[in-house]
Amino acid sequence: MTSSLTHLIETCQVRIAMLFDFYLQQRVSQAPELQQAMYYSVSNGGKHLRSLLVYATGHIFDASLENLDIPACAVELIHSYSLIHDDLPPMDNADLRRGKPACHKQFTEAMAILAGDALQPLAYEIIASHPSTLSAEQRLAMIHMLSHASGLDGMAAGQALDIVGVNALPALEHMYALKTGALFRTSIQLGMLAANIKTYPSLEKFADYVGLAFQIQDDLLDLESDPALIGKPVGLDATNNKITYPSLLNKEKAQEKVQELLANAVQELAPLAHKADLLRELVYSILTIRP
């Protein structure tokens, strides 16, 4: 890992932590236990991959850190809410998250549901009102983009398909594109929007490749990794009778697919040359160093 990527990661973590502290520690709360459950979940470790994608993309187009902080924080709040709900007994029934008790184990199931519910509007509140030079048009576009990616046409839809179950590769890839890929693509798009870039097709294709590769790798980690290393239970897919990439094909073909998708993703960055070095190195670290 180069010093540039290390610096990006450290910068991201510090700046996101400051915003979490401002909104979930310093503000006066009408419901202290709910506030504690929210803060517990967003500050419970994690690599902030989606936030890093926001920052690394914004870096390509010289977006200011202040303008990147807002969407980076928002996408992390949406991701955290999804993890809280994923861990609940009706969903994946996971007791651990990032090596610590899941939110519903640390607090209660009811409080965990409310914590997830409250993190969603907080994400949009921050986009709408946190001070920066972002225009009203940029903020509205970010809200629209993030809500689309996390709702009926994105992450929530993918989670619903996961619950219902799929039994063929095209349906599985479609579900992954919604459940995981939508927030990856939106992280890239939010980084562009912070620089007032409305579209960049090769970067959006890059995000789609990375999102699918990340989810397949997650399948592999659930199949064979050490819970102590990844900070959450393994074998849940089999326990919950879920169809995954390795179960439909096999471990070796799943690993080959990750590498194929990684190569495709990096190829999409070629037109950006050295401007995309941080993003290029970040995706290599995501897909070759995990966990």
CATH class, domain 3-288, is: mainly alpha
For residue 264, pLDDT over 70 is answered with: yes
Say if CB 2 and CB 282 are below 8 A apart. no
Top pLDDT among 225 and 17 is at: 17
Q: Which residue has the tokens 């790798």?
A: 217
Q: Please write the tens of the pLDDT for every residue from 101-160.
A: 999 999 999 999 999 999 999 999 999 999 999 999 999 999 999 999 999 999 999 999
Four-residue CA torsion sign, 289, 85, 9, 216: positive
Token pair in block for residue 187: 């992280």
For residue 222, pLDDT over 90 is answered with: no
Residue 45: its pLDDT value, please?
79
- As to burial, measured by CB atoms within 10 angstroms (0-12 exposed, 13-18 middle, 19+ buried), residue 263 is exposed
Domain locations in the chain as residue ranges: 3-288
